[in-house]
Structure 1
Amino acid sequence: MILSPIDPKQPLQTEYSQAVADLVSALRTGLASNLHSVYVYGSVARRCALLHRSNLDVIIVSHQSFAQQRTTLFNTIKWQFQKRYPHITEINFKTAMVSEVASLDSIFSWGFLLRHCAMCVYGENLSECFGDYEPSWEIAKHWNMDIEDWLAVYRNRIARAKDDQELHKSQRIIAKKMLRASYSLVIPRDRNWYDSPLECGKHFLRYHPEMQVEVERLVIMLSSRVIPKRSIIGMIDSYGDWLVKQYKKTEFRIG
């Protein structure tokens, strides 16, 4: 099965279209001729963002590095957006230079991300440098083989969370990662790709119905409800350990 790119002709949700336009304007002002192109990905690009729940995920491609002005530029944009667009919970930035993106080494990283998970909102669309992709273990493992590292990092963050807001943010992030990692395990059989964590869980269960309870718990972790630390850590230690072992088994089998 050939994966379809996100339709660029479909308009963004009304609540996000002006925010994206303002973001592009701020980046053009801040980076001037160094800015090559801008992309949005995640729920805003898929037109399923939720007010006061969804982040604005952005990819900035530049001609040269802008490391020296990066922190100031991004903090200024975030401060402005907190005032103008309170329904956007956070802006997440990924950055790369043109030479990094338009490279054979980036086929399963930047290539796949731009071609099938993102939408160009300014500049030359580098996704056109890449052909369409078929679902494969190469894609699956590139995006989720790091699950063991994520589990260790977020186990620590959750254990050290100082308040409910910090805990809730971490529980949602690791729940999304675990649901997506779950589906990636079955991509070689299912031959598809889903970015939505809920869709990932649903299609994963077609192959592992015995994990129904675990997936239901991860879905609860995605909700607005704050889960006790011990319960989240329990999921990371039990189901997370199962995921890690399955990845190692699959990599050994498929390579």
Structure 2
Amino acid sequence: MTTTQGLDRDGYIAREGSLDLVPPAFAPVIAAARDRITAAFTSDRLHSAYLYGSIPRGTATPGVSDLDLLLALHHGPTATDRAAAKALEASLDADFPQVDGVGVLLFSTRTLLSELERHDLGWFVACLCTPLLGEDLATRLPRYRPTSLLARETNGDLALALPHWRDRLATADSDAELRALARTVSRRLVRTAFTLVMPRWGGWTSDLTTSAEAFATYYPERAAHLRLAAATARTPTTDRTTLAVLINDLAPWLATEYTTVHGTKAPRP
């Protein structure tokens, strides 16, 4: 049971979502996702499936929120698996106006349970993902506290994203591209800013406003920028000036401060 600031009574991060919290408007989407995943991925390929994001947290808005899925496979994803995931994304997005975009992540169970991913993807499955199909991998993962180690391994690689974001901003030539970039950048910055202060704040949240205000407590001089990022995450913009502020001002500062406070995430292959 959650007691305060996203923790259970023992001080561990509580799993934040549940199928019981899915808003009624999204129930048909989840039912279809379950059926279509089962049809597209045979039991020798699929180990388990999960929801994450605003829908299982119960905060999704019909027509605005996206559907986020993670599929754990028995083996590493193949080209066939990726094609099936793309088809699943497209069909659900086309058939259900309740969702504005569908994303499907694919990982092997070996990766999700690995020591390297213990405090990143493992934590993500155990704390931020809601089981939809199959055996819940959370039973094979530890419990987590809001530590500096968790902060480092979840978001200690922000600097790697900056060149790509700058390239996307420079080459974007449509409103759709700008909105997609705004969503990606703003969500990542809010999440990273929150985990920067998470150990001091002493809890966990995925709420954008709460994240921004928690950050503002410790970095008031950057509060306006983080509130801008949170607002952009809620309503993605096509304004290049806003995106430039986030990508060229807030993001480099945040990447440097993060490394100073928590260190750099362990390199991935």
TM-score (norm 2): 0.86
CA distance in 2, matches of 1:225, 1:100: 32
Q: Could you tell me whether the CA contact under 8 Å between 1:151 and 1:174 is conserved in 2?
A: no
Unaligned runs of 5+ in 2: 1-10
User: How many angstroms apart in 1 are the aligned matches of 2:139 and 2:161?
Assistant: 31
CA distance in 2, matches of 1:11, 1:220: 24
* Contact 1:159–1:229, Cα closer than 8 Å, also in 2: no
**Greater helix content:** 1
Aligned equivalent of 1:3: 13
Determine if the alignment matches structure 1 residue 18 to structure 2 residue 18.
Answer: no
Amino acid at match of 2:113: A
Equivalence for 1:123? 134
Instruction: Report the residue type matching 2:16 in the other structure.
Output: I
* RMSD of aligned residue pairs (Cα, Å): 2.2
Note if 1:242 corresponds to 2:253: yes
1:147 to 158, 171, 193: 158
Q: Is the 8 A contact 2:182 2:243 kept in 1?
A: yes
Task: State the 1:47 CA deviation.
Answer: 1.3
What is the rounded CA distance, in whole Å, between the counterparts of 1:225 and 1:30 in structure 2? 32
How much identity, in percent, do the aligned residues show? 19
1:54 maps to 65
Distance 1:51 1:159, change over 3 A: farther
Q: Tell me which residue corresponds to 2:3.
A: none
* 1:195 equivalent in alignment to 2:232: no
**TM-score under structure 1 length normalisation:** 0.90
Match of 1:109 in 2: 120
Amino acid at match of 2:140: C
Q: Which residue number corresponds to residue 174 of structure 2?
A: 163
Contact map agreement 2:62 2:98 (CA 8 A) in 1: yes
Deviations 1:119-151 (A, max 9, x none): 101111111112321101111121211211223
Cα separation, 2, equivalents of 1:29 and 1:225 = 34
User: SS where residue 108 of structure 1 aligns?
Assistant: coil
Q: Secondary structure at the match of 2:212?
A: helix
Shift of 1:252: 5.4
Partner of 2:192: 181
Q: CA separation in 2, counterparts of 1:66 and 1:72?
A: 10
Whole-angstrom distance in 2 between the partners of 1:214 and 1:7: 28
Gaps (5+ residues) in structure 1?
none
